[in-house]
Amino acid sequence: MSAAQQHIIVAAGDLSGYMAGAYLARMLPAGFKITLIRLGKLQAAELYGTAHPDIRRFNKILQINEVDFITSCNAVFRLGLTVCGFGHAPYARTFSQYGLPIDGNGFYESLLANGRSPHPADLAAYNLPAAMIAQGKFAPPADSSKPILSDFDYGYCFDPAGYADMLCKRAAKFGANVITSEDVDIDAMAGRVTLSKGQTLKADLIVDAGARQIHPDWQSWTETMPHTAYAVHRPQTDIHAKRLAPTLKASASALSLSYDLQHSSVEIKFDPSGDNEFQTGRCRVPWTGNVLRLGQSAMTILPLEANLTQIAQIDIERLIELFPPDLGAPIEREEYNRRTSDFYDRMRDFVLLHLKTAKTGGAMWDKARNLKLPKEAGYKLSLFSARGRIAVLDEETTLKDSWHAMLLGHNIVPERAGAMAMNVTPAQLESNLTRLSKFISRAVDAMPSHDDFIARHCPASKRTHE
Amino acid sequence: MTYSPQIGAENAVRRVVIVGGGTAGWMCAAAIGSVLSKLGLSITLVESDAIGTVGVGEATLPHIRFFNQKLGIDENALMAATQATYKLGIEFKNWGNIDESYIHPFGDFGVPINRVPFHHYITRAIQSGQNIDLDEYSLPVMAARRGKFTLPSMDMSSVMSTYGYAYQFDATLYARFLRKFSEDKGVIRQEGKVTSVAQDPESGFITSVTLESGTQIDGDIFVDCTGFRGLLIEQTLNVDFDDWSEYLPCNRAVTVGSEPIGPAGPYTRATAKSAGWQWRIPLQHRIGNGYVYASDYISDDEAAASLLEDVDGPLRGEPRHLRFKSGARKASWNKNCVAIGLSGGFLEPLESTGIYLIQEAITNFIELFPSRDCPDPERDEYNRIMDLSFERVRDFLILHYVATQRTDSAFWRYCKDMSIPDSLQHKMDLFKSSGRVVSYELGAFKFPSWLAVYYGQGIVPRNIDPVSAHMPETALPGELSRLKNMISGAVNKMPNHTDYIAENCAADPSEVM
Ligand SMILES: Cc1cc2nc3c(=O)[nH]c(=O)nc-3n(C[C@H](O)[C@H](O)[C@H](O)COP(=O)(O)OP(=O)(O)OC[C@H]3O[C@@H](n4cnc5c(N)ncnc54)[C@H](O)[C@@H]3O)c2cc1C
Contact between A117 and B1 using a beta-carbon 8 Å cutoff: yes
Give, for ligand 1, the residue of B87, B225, B280 to mutate: max count of ligand atoms closer than 8 Å to Cβ: B225
Alpha carbon distance A19, A27 (integer Å): 12
Q: Tell me the H-state helices in B403-475.
A: 410-417, 422-434, 447-456
**Domain check: are B236 and B333 in the same one?**
yes
Domain range enclosing B149: 106-167+421-498
A385·B377 Cβ contact <8 A: yes
Same domain, B344 and B474: no
Confidence of residue B1 (pLDDT cuts 50, 70, 90): low
Calculate what percentage of chain A has a pLDDT beyond 90: 84
Closest approach atom of ligand 1 to CA B353: 11
Does B139 share its domain with B264?
no
Q: Which residues of A touch B7 (CB under 8 A)?
A: 416, 418-419
For B375-388, what is each residue's pLDDT tens digit? 999 999 999 999 99
pLDDT at B7 (0 to 100):
66
CB of B466 within 8 Å of a chain A CB? The answer is yes
Q: Cβ separation of B2 and A115 shorter than 8 Å?
A: yes
Domain membership flag for residue B466: yes
Of the listed ranges A98-112, A298-312, B143-157, the least confidently predicted one is A98-112
Average model confidence (pLDDT) for chain A?
Answer: 94
- B360 and B487, same domain (yes or no): no
Give the count of beta carbons closer than 10 Å to the beta carbon of residue B156.
Answer: 8
pLDDT band with cut points at 50, 70 and 90 for residue B511: low
* Confidence band, pLDDT 50/70/90 cuts, at residue B144: very high
Hey, whose CA ends up nearest to atom 35 of ligand 1? B20
**Which residue in B366, B440, B466 is closest to A323 by CB distance?**
B466
Query: pTM (2 decimals)?
Result: 0.95
From chain B, pick out residues whose CB is under 8 angstroms from the CB of A325: 433-434, 462-464, 466
* Superfamily classification of domain A6-452: FAD/NAD(P)-binding domain (3.50.50.60)
Query: What's the gap in Å between A130 CA and the centre of ligand 1?
Result: 50
Flag whether B383 is in a domain.
yes
With a 6 Å cutoff on the Cβ, whether B227 touches ligand 1 is: yes
**Chain A touched by B377 (CB under 8 Å):** yes
Please give, rounded to a whole number of angstroms, the shortest distance from the CA of B380 to a CA of chain A. 9
The pLDDT of residue B510 is 64
Average confidence (pLDDT) over A69-98: 97
Name the domain count of chain B. 3
**Closest residue to A387, CB basis, from B2, B368, B440:** B368
Whole-number Å distance, alpha carbon B227 to ligand 1 midpoint, is: 5
User: Using one digit for the tens of pLDDT, what is the confidence trace for A389-438?
Assistant: 999 999 999 999 999 999 999 999 998 887 778 778 999 999 999 999 99
Q: Mind listing the pLDDT tens digit for each residue in B436-450?
A: 999 998 889 999 999
pLDDT confidence bin for B5, thresholds 50/70/90? low
Quote the distance between the C-alpha of residue A402 and its chain's center: 12
The model's confidence at residue B97, banded by pLDDT at 50, 70 and 90, is very high
Catalytic residues of B: 87
**B80/B58 Cα distance (integer angstroms):** 14
Q: Which residues on B lie below 8 Å from A61 (Cβ)? A: 115
- For residues B399-415, b (16+ Cβ closer than 10 Å) or e, as one string? bbbbbbebeebebbeeb
Contacts of B372 in chain A (CB under 8 A): none
Instruction: Inspect the interface and report whether the beta carbons of A29 and B440 lie closer than 8 Å.
Output: no
* pLDDT given at position B416: 96
Tens digit of each residue's pLDDT (9 = 90 or more) over A23-77? 999 999 989 999 999 999 999 999 999 999 999 999 999 999 999 999 999 999 9
User: Does ligand 1 lie within 6 Å of residue B85's CB atom?
Assistant: no
- With beta carbons under 8 A apart, name residues in chain B contacting A379: 380
pLDDT category at A2 given cuts 50, 70, 90 is very low
Cβ of A117 within 8 Å of Cβ of B115? The answer is: no
- CATH label of the domain that carries residue B34: 3.50.50.60
Q: How confident is the model at residue B175 (pLDDT cuts 50, 70, 90)?
A: very high
One domain for residues B309 and B455: no
- B324 pocket-lining for ligand 1 (C-beta < 6 Å): yes
Among residues B279, B305, B323, the one where a domain terminates is B323
- Cβ–Cβ gap B434/A324 under 8 Å: yes
Distance B22 CA to ligand 1 centre (A): 5
- Encode pLDDT of A158-214 as tens digits: 999 999 999 999 999 999 999 999 999 999 888 999 999 999 999 999 999 987 777
Whether A215 has a pLDDT exceeding 90, the answer reads no
Are B380 and B426 members of one domain?
Answer: no
pLDDT in tens, B294-350: 999 999 999 999 999 999 999 999 999 999 999 999 999 999 999 999 999 999 999
Which of these three, B323, B341, B366, is where a domain ends? B323
B22 within ligand 1 shell (Cβ under 6 A): yes
Contact yes or no for A420 and B366 at CB 8 A: yes
Q: For chain B, what is the mean pLDDT?
A: 95
Quote the CA–CA distance of B166 and B62 in Å, as a whole number.
4
Query: Does some domain include residue B371?
Result: yes
CA of B248 to the centre of ligand 1 (A): 19
Regarding the beta carbon of B288 and ligand 1, being less than 6 Å apart is answered no
Best A321, A393, A399, A411 member to test B by mutation, with max B CBs in 10 Å, is: A321
Of B438, B464, B467, the CB nearest to A27: B467
| CA-derived radius of gyration, chain B | 24
How many angstroms separate the CA of residue A269 from the nearest CA in chain B? 32
Ligand 1, closest atom to CA B227? Answer: 27
Query: Mean pLDDT throughout B153-174?
Result: 95
Mean pLDDT of B192-220: 98
CB-CB contact of B174 with B23 (8 Å): yes
**pLDDT tier, B499 (very low <50, low <70, confident <90, very high otherwise):** very high
CA distance B363 to chain A (A): 12
Assess whether B380 and B444 both reside in one domain. no
What per-residue confidence (pLDDT) applies to A362? 94
Work out the minimum CA distance from B81 to partner chain A, whole angstroms: 27
| Atom from ligand 1 closest to the CA of residue B58 | 8
What residues of A are in contact with residue B5 (Cβ under 8 Å)?
112, 388, 413-418
Q: Does residue B298 share a domain with residue B154?
A: no
Is B96 within the bounds of a domain? Answer: no
**Last residue in a domain, options B392, B407, B434:** B392
Of ligand 1's listed atoms, the one at least distance from the Cα of B24 is 25
Atom nearest to B194 CA in ligand 1: 42
A414:B377 CB<8 A: no
Interface touch B438/A335, C-beta < 8 Å: yes
Query: What is the complex's ipTM, to 2 decimals?
Result: 0.94
Among the partner-chain residues A116, A326, A331, the one whose CB lies closest to the CB of B430 is: A331
What's the pLDDT at B4? 62
From the list B3, B377, B436, which residue is nearest A386 (CB)?
B377
Q: Does residue B229 line the site of ligand 1, with CB under 6 A?
A: yes
> What is the whole-number distance in angstroms between the Cα of residue B351 and the centre of ligand 1?
16
Q: Using CA coordinates, name the residue in chain B closest to A389.
A: B368
- Give the mean pLDDT of A330-339: 96
- Domain match, B197 and B342 both: yes
Distance from CA of A350 to the nearest CA of B (A): 18
Decide: B194 in ligand 1 pocket, CB within 6 A.
Answer: yes
pLDDT tens digits for B377-423?
Answer: 999 999 999 999 999 999 999 999 999 999 999 999 999 999 999 99
Contact B466 A335 (CB under 8 A): no
B235 shares a domain with B110:
no
Q: Quick check: is B308 in a domain?
A: yes
Query: How confident is the model over B219-272, as pLDDT tens digits?
Result: 999 999 999 999 999 999 999 999 999 999 999 999 999 999 999 999 999 999
- Work out the minimum CA distance from A360 to partner chain B, whole angstroms: 17
Confidence of residue A465 (pLDDT cuts 50, 70, 90): very low
pLDDT attached to residue A1: 42
Average pLDDT on A237-256 reads 92
Higher-confidence position of B129 and B494: B494
Average pLDDT over residues A242-252: 97
* Contact call for A416 and B7, based on CB within 8 A: yes
Measured distance CA(B162)–CA(B145) in Å, rounded: 16
Domain boundaries defined on chain A: 6-452
Residues 88-147 of B with CB under 8 A from A: 115
